Structure 1
Amino acid sequence: MQSSAPFTFLKSSSAFDDQTAFLGETGNYPTEAALLQLGHALMTELLDVIADTALEDYQTILGEALIGAFHSAAGRMEREADRARDSMRALSRDCDGSEAADVELQEVMAKARAGDAATRAAELVRDAASQCWTISTGEVWTAWRGSRRGSFLTAAQLEARQAIRSIRARKAGEADPGGPVIAFRGAPWADTAEDAGRIFDALNWALGQWPDMALATSGARGSEKLAIKWSQQKGVKLILARADFNVHGKAAPFRANDDLIALEPICCLTLAQSLDQARNAGSRPFGPALNLGQKAMEQGVRHLAIRARDA
């Protein structure tokens, strides 16, 4: 395990601090800097305690569980705030102008605002722990379910199905989901330093071509985790089309490609084999990556296979 890198937060002012400054009637709130430091400290303490012990074999499970706990808490508090907003709408609709009704409405409004602040606080701790996790271990964390808003520490993450709905809504004139989508699939064993360098080169090229791009991938281990790490470092929106093995069985990685194509990507990047030939011993090219390239060409979408620098 790598030791934790120095971790400082230099943001002089924050939306969270501005948000909570108007909630004095519900009590004092910790500052954003304090919450970020908490997330870092919790992850650092976990990694330090289990280092060089038998629990280090379970480092990934424990680290992801810690981050996921705050992600789950944020979701629960957000749902409570949404319920309070539903009550606000009902009370506003049925308000009879009495003092009692007005007091009840004000209380529900305060509950909704407090829920929003609590949700954001949990998200800040989650994002700081996630960033510390990546810096310390080189691994990246992505939410198993649902979308995740971005912060100055992380880019936004969307579920593929939600992004597909947004694209359809945009065509109907209802919404605009953002910039062009770049899809990427790669072999799980293509995770060497050479692979990472060329994946980053390809993604940097794409970002230069389409500065407002979003990266879409299935989030599989290996090369696709490297692509996710790149998106976090660059602040690029991430769209995850996860393979659902419970529903689709062995066909799941290929059904994920259907979701990627449904996002109407402007370009598909693939890496079906490691650029380090020693890693490819006994391995066929990664079928889902080949399949995405084939689907892209069938749909008239630009497809680029990532190759070694001298290839």
Structure 2
Amino acid sequence: MDHSHAHQPDITSTAHVLEELQLFGYRPFSDEPDPRPLPEGYRVAGAVADIFDALVATLDDTRLEPDLEGLLWSTVNLFHRAADRIERELDDNEQAQRQSQRDQDGSEIRSVELERLLAEGQTMLERRDAFELMRDQAADQYERHTGSCWRPRNGSMVNHRNLTSAVIDSRDFLMARQRAKSQILLPEGPKVVFSGGDSDDHSSIWARLDQAHAKHPDMVLIHGGSPKGAEKIASRWADVRHVRQVAFKPDWLSN
């Protein structure tokens, strides 16, 4: 008897969902808050260190060693770009929240929509902060292996979080985000402006900056961001002393 064309029972939608859960586990949809936890900080640090150690151990003392520093730089940049991408998504979320605020009419539908946008924004903040942590851990590994501080090619390297309660929460969220961005890009504290030309007198420069730091422990170092000379030495001093710094690099192309 030929059973090749025997009727196969249809799989119900519930059975399909259960099968997906068995195979892949629960996965939230793109428009749902993700309840899964973020990775622990110590796991992130260990994973990033393993990535760098694996690259160095594999390429060191081989014909590819000249390419190693560039690969390590790109590894840090991978996390940096991920944080930037989420920051752009946050900008879109912020605009959506503002539009949802304007659309509020006291109805439950509008309120729920705004709550959803708020939850998405908070998740994005946490994801961005996680990638910035990975970027910072990777930058530390880059410095450990190359002896140089990691800097992005462009932009800044920053570390960052009828009316209903949903509207108020959303406005608090937007205000808090704006304050956080301002504090990062415009750090508070006395500004110490440094310029030293092509001088390479490390001892003198560090001594003067140490004096300024002793007088102003919360100082912010302002310099021209030169890749060599006194400003490079000053930037390195700020890295070692954990002093916030703002580099005003000249825009030669616009002049």
Alignment TM-score, normalising by the size of structure 2 = 0.68
1:36-115 aligned at under 5 Å gives the runs 36-115=45-124
Q: Classify the secondary structure of the residue corresponding to 2:64.
A: helix
Aligned to 2:3: none
Asked if residue 246 in structure 1 is aligned to residue 253 in structure 2, the reply is yes
Helix, strand or coil: the match of 1:184?
Answer: coil
CA shift in 2, pair 1:44/1:31, >3 Å: same
Q: Relative to structure 2, which stretch is displaced further, 230-239 or 57-66?
A: 57-66
Aligned 1:1-311 pairs, distance under 5 A: 26-150=35-159, 177-187=188-198, 190=200, 195-223=201-229, 224-248=231-255
CA contact (8 A) 1:185 1:218 kept: no
Per-residue deviation at 1:177? 4.2
Higher strand share: 1
Report how far residue 42 of structure 1 moved: 2.3
Unaligned runs of 5+ residues in structure 1 are 1-23, 152-161, 167-175, 249-311
Residues 100-129 of structure 1: per-residue CA shift (max 9 Å, x gap): 222211211111011111111110011011
Partner Cα separation in structure 1 for residue 116 and residue 235 of structure 2: 42
Measure how far apart 1:86 and its partner are.
Answer: 1.9
Number of residue pairs the alignment of both structures matches: 200
Q: Residues 149 and 103 of structure 1: is their aligned pair in 2 closer, same or farther, counting only changes over 3 Å?
A: same
Q: Structure 1, residues 25-59: CA drift from partner, whole Å, max 9, x if none?
A: 53221112222333333233223322112332233
For residues 242 and 205 of structure 2, what CA distance do their matches in structure 1 show? 16
CA 1:206–1:177 in 2, change beyond 3 Å: closer, same or farther?
Answer: same
Sequence identity (%)? 28
> CA separation of 1:97/1:76 partners in 2, compared to 1, >3 Å: closer, same or farther?
same
Stretches of structure 2 lacking an aligned partner (at least 5 in a row): 1-32, 161-181
Q: Which structure has the larger Rg?
A: 2
SS in 2 for 1:212: coil
CA RMSD after TM alignment: 2.8
- 2-side partners of 1:75 and 1:90: how far apart? 23
Offset, 1:213: 1.5
Deviation per CA, 1:52-96, whole angstroms, max 9, x where unpaired? 123322333222221122111101101212211221122122112
> Per the alignment, do residues 228 and 28 of structure 1 end up closer, same or farther by CA in structure 2, a change over 3 Å counting?
same
Code of the residue aligned with 1:220 in structure 2: it is S
Contact 1:140-1:228 at 8 Å conserved across structures: no
